[in-house]
Amino acid sequence: MTRSAHRRSWKATEQNRKLHQKTKLAIAILIILILSLLFGKIAIFLKSFQQPFSQEESTKNYTWNGKSNINLIITGKTLAVLTYKKVEQEIFLIKIPPHSYLNLPQNLGSWPLSSVYDLGQSLKPPQGSYLLKTSVSNLMGIPIDGFVGKENQTPVELLESLRQNPLKTLTLVPTLKTDLSLPELISLSTSLPQVRFDKVQTLDLEDLMIPAELPDGTLSLTGDSIKIDSLTNKLAEASFRKEGLTIAIYNGTSTVGLAGKAARMVTNLGGNVIILSSLEENQAKSGVYLSTADEKKLKLTETFKRLVQIFGLRATILPEELRSSRAQINVVLGEDFAQRF
């Protein structure tokens, strides 16, 4: 082989080698881009997995763990509150009459139940489900963890649908209006069918309301908290009664009677409230504080976890006024909680 031919052969080999290297580099870059896109999609999916399944807004910052009770508003042709008691394996469906008048937060006054959601949706930003959950929570003295609705179905019919075979229930999910996340819906659809039919109670709140006649002659109903509490006490958390922890509630706002309203809710959950008081300084945000002597042990209790869901995360600095508290768990109500009343 001549020198010129050898040189051409060497150049061709070198070009092939460089082309092969560039091809390998391009493939590597393509794989990295595909993996980045894939992981990005997975991250977005995992994040969305915890978001409300439908487009309804959600204001809660927790996901039902399937261990505690869950209280849901069931909407459709009418409205009811569904309570699933995990430990006791019981379901309560409490119907609320549409002509019930509820006291709304944010100084919105008293409105008929049938108008609350639409009123909330007319606000900016829309907050129909929040307004509905908050006003029903105030009426019944229990936390409301979410809502599930389906047009043209009564709450009883929707409950029967949710208690079908879990696979059939999942086919119903896309037709629902809800602020529950997909994991919560899956957990609910697998839990409700396990409750025996004789453990499902349907009750009507109308008998526990105070009737009145409006100027136009229509009937209105307002809540009688004493009578309603005699019912909602049945919805108590088994863990609250079993653990029997002492609880103090402090009003950290200028809103009169706020601690009493919170105490009603905690008591209906089965909590042992031993102190009601006020703080000298107003608090912007609510919090749950533990007795420093038993802090590690109390962190693991279901009572503490449930109170954190309702009233907010535990702050890092214990207010000076609470360091001498006799209670094991101390709830401080801030302005964020006051806005719910």
**Higher-scoring residue by pLDDT: 300, 61:** 300
pLDDT tier, 30 (very low <50, low <70, confident <90, very high otherwise):
low
Residue 46 clears pLDDT 50, i.e. is over it: no
The Cβ of residue 248 has, within 10 Å, a number of other Cβ atoms equal to: 22
pLDDT for 9 equals: 61
Q: Is the pLDDT of residue 240 over 80?
A: yes
| Total domain count, the chain | 2
The predicted structure's pLDDT at residue 175: 86
What is the mean pLDDT of the segment spanning 271-284?
Answer: 92
- Give the mean model confidence (pLDDT) for residues 261-280: 95
CA-wise closest residue to 94 among 209, 175, 257: 209
Residue 34 lies in a domain: no
Asked which of 209, 231, 253 is the last residue of a domain, the reply is: 231
119 Cβ neighbours under 8 A, 6+ residues apart = 104, 108, 111, 128, 131
Residue 186 CA: distances (Å) to CA of 133, 193, 262: 21, 12, 31
Do 76 and 213 fall into the same domain?
yes
pLDDT greater than 60 at residue 5: no
Nearest C-alpha neighbor of 131 from the set 150, 112, 157, 152: 112
The confidence score (pLDDT) of residue 26 equals: 54
Tell me 118's DSSP state: H
Do 120 and 251 belong together in one domain?
A: no
Q: What is the pLDDT of residues 78-131, one digit of tens each?
A: 999 999 999 999 999 999 999 999 999 888 899 999 999 999 999 888 888 899
For the chain, give the percent of residues with pLDDT over 70. Answer: 81
Count CB neighbours of 172 within 10 A.
15
pLDDT at 13 over 80: no
In the prediction, which pLDDT does 340 show?
Answer: 75
Cα gap 237→228, rounded to integer Å: 17
More confident residue, 226 or 37: 226
Q: Residues 107, 218: one domain?
A: yes
SS3 content of the chain, % helix, strand, coil (to 5): 45, 20, 30
- Band of residue 44 on the pLDDT scale cut at 50, 70, 90: very low
- The residue from 192, 207, 231 where one domain ends is 231
CB 132 within 8 A of CB 178: no
Among all chains, which residue has been given the structure tokens 């590690």? 296
Q: What sections of the chain are H helices per DSSP?
A: 3-49, 113-121, 128-140, 155-162, 166-172, 182-191, 225-232, 238-243, 258-268, 295-298, 302-311, 335-338
- Domain boundary, last residue among 196, 231, 266: 231
* pLDDT score of 294: 82
Which CATH number characterizes residue 319's domain? 3.30.70.2390
Residues 225, 244, single domain; the answer is no
**Domain containing 294: what range?**
236-338
Q: Is the pLDDT of residue 8 over 80?
A: no
Q: Is the pLDDT assigned to residue 319 strictly greater than 50? A: yes
Closest Cα partner for 159 from 50, 83, 235, 219? 83
Cα–Cα distance between 118 and 123 in angstroms, integer?
Answer: 9
- Rounded to an integer, what distance in angstroms lies between the CA atom of residue 223 and that of residue 228? 7
Tell me which range, 20-29, 46-55, 236-245, is most confidently predicted by mean pLDDT.
236-245
